[in-house]
């Protein structure tokens, strides 16, 4: 209990001192609130077609207006949070896991393994990622699951680079040398010492990468390659773009929701980088 209390106190202190992390957490809890209480907060079923099409905000019982099919814009915005967070979290988990595994193996094992993995990573980073995602989604389908997996499989190189740099540094540390002397195998050392101690920059980078995943999904939906069976802010912008001069609210509110969510994840990732990065901690201590 004392260890848990000390960890909680340390976490609270870190959150209180870093403004960006605090704002990011507040924004994240706000988004999660909309996800959990979406059925209660949404004034209507976002999939229902109403009789009032392109109603202006405040008219015909639609607080933020309706689209050309009579769907309530506010309800669509609230349910769109679920889609955006699902894409961000699942794609980030895939990207983070691949980056940690590939970068950790490359950095710790070194030699030819490091050379070949690093070259493969460099080649992958030179590929136009968004167009690669477009190609894969067009070939294998535009379901939400496919979109999440494709984004995760195409955004791991930056995490791999970070983890490789951490592994190159950590493998020279005394506790790793001691583990080698005690007869522990390389896989044991990698997953017991290298990954747990080097994963913090990857966590911060992955959190920032969530905002890019949201933008990518919105871009795919805007181009008509999103999942038509789910509510998406990108789809709202795409359908509303036809009526932008007469019914600006269909696209505008969805665009603002994307901007808000992206800023939240950026603040959260940057705040985690401040808290978890030893260089930042050293500078604060020296100050």
The per-residue pLDDT for range 231-270, each reduced to its tens digit, is: 889 888 988 888 888 889 889 999 999 999 999 999 888 8
pLDDT at residue number 10? 61
7 Cβ contact partners less than 8 Å away, ≥ 6 residues apart: none
Structural domain includes residue 17: no
| pLDDT exceeds 90 at position 9 | no
Among the ranges given (2-11, 79-88, 124-133, 196-205), the one the predictor scored with the smallest mean pLDDT: 2-11
Structural domain includes residue 242: yes
Structural domain includes residue 47: no
| pLDDT exceeds 60 at position 282 | no
**Domain interval for residue 180:** 75-281
User: Residue 111 sits in a domain of what CATH number?
Assistant: 1.10.3720.10
Total tally of structural domains belonging to the chain: 1
Structural domain includes residue 54: no
Residue of 113 and 18 predicted with greater confidence: 113
CA distance 124 to 128: 9
| pLDDT exceeds 60 at position 286 | no
111 Cβ contact partners less than 8 Å away, ≥ 6 residues apart: none
| pLDDT exceeds 60 at position 200 | yes
Structural domain includes residue 286: no
46 Cβ contact partners less than 8 Å away, ≥ 6 residues apart: 71, 72, 75, 76, 78, 79, 231
CA distance 263 to 146: 25
Among the ranges given (133-137, 171-175, 281-285), the one the predictor scored with the smallest mean pLDDT: 281-285
Structural domain includes residue 100: yes
Structural domain includes residue 21: no
The pTM of the whole model exceeds 0.85: no
Q: What is the pLDDT of residues 83-103, one digit of tens each?
A: 989 999 999 999 999 999 999
pLDDT at residue number 284? 47
- Dump the DSSP string for 83-141: HHHHHHHHHHHHHHHHHHHHHHHHHHH-HHHHHHHHHHHHHHHHS-HHHHHHHHHHHH-
| pLDDT exceeds 70 at position 148 | yes
- Grouping H, G, I as helix, E, B as strand and the rest as coil, residue 183 is coil
Structural domain includes residue 218: yes
């Amino acid at each position: 209990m004392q260890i848990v209390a000390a960890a909680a106190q340390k976490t609270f202190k870190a959150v209180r001192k870093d403004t960006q992390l605090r704002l990011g957490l507040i924004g994240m809890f706000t988004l999660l609130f909309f996800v959990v209480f979406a059925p209660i907060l949404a004034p209507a079923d976002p999939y229902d077609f109403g009789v009032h099409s392109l109603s202006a905000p405040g008219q015909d019982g639609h607080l933020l207006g309706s689209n050309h099919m009579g769907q309530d814009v506010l309800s669509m915005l609230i349910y769109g949070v679920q889609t955006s967070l699902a894409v961000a979290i699942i794609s980030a988990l895939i990207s983070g896991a691949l980056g940690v595994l590939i970068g950790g193996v490359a950095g710790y094992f070194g030699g030819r393994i490091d050379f070949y993995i690093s070259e493969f990573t460099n080649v992958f980073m030179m590929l136009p990622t968004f167009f690669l995602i477009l190609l894969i989604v067009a070939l294998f389908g535009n379901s939400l699951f496919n979109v999440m997996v494709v984004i995760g499989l195409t955004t791991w190189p930056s995490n791999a680079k970070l983890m490789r740099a951490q592994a190159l540094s950590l493998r020279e540390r005394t506790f790793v040398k001691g583990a080698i002397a005690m007869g522990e195998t390389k896989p044991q050392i990698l997953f017991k010492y290298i990954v747990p101690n080097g994963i913090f920059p990857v966590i911060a980078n992955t959190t920032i990468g969530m905002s890019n995943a949201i933008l990518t999904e919105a871009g795919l939906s805007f181009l008509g390659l999103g999942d038509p069976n789910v509510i998406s802010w990108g789809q709202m912008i795409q359908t509303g773009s036809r009526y932008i001069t007469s019914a600006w609210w269909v696209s505008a509110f969805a665009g603002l929701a994307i901007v808000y969510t992206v800023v939240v994840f950026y603040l959260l990732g940057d705040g985690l980088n401040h808290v978890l990065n030893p260089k930042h901690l050293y500078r604060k201590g020296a100050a």
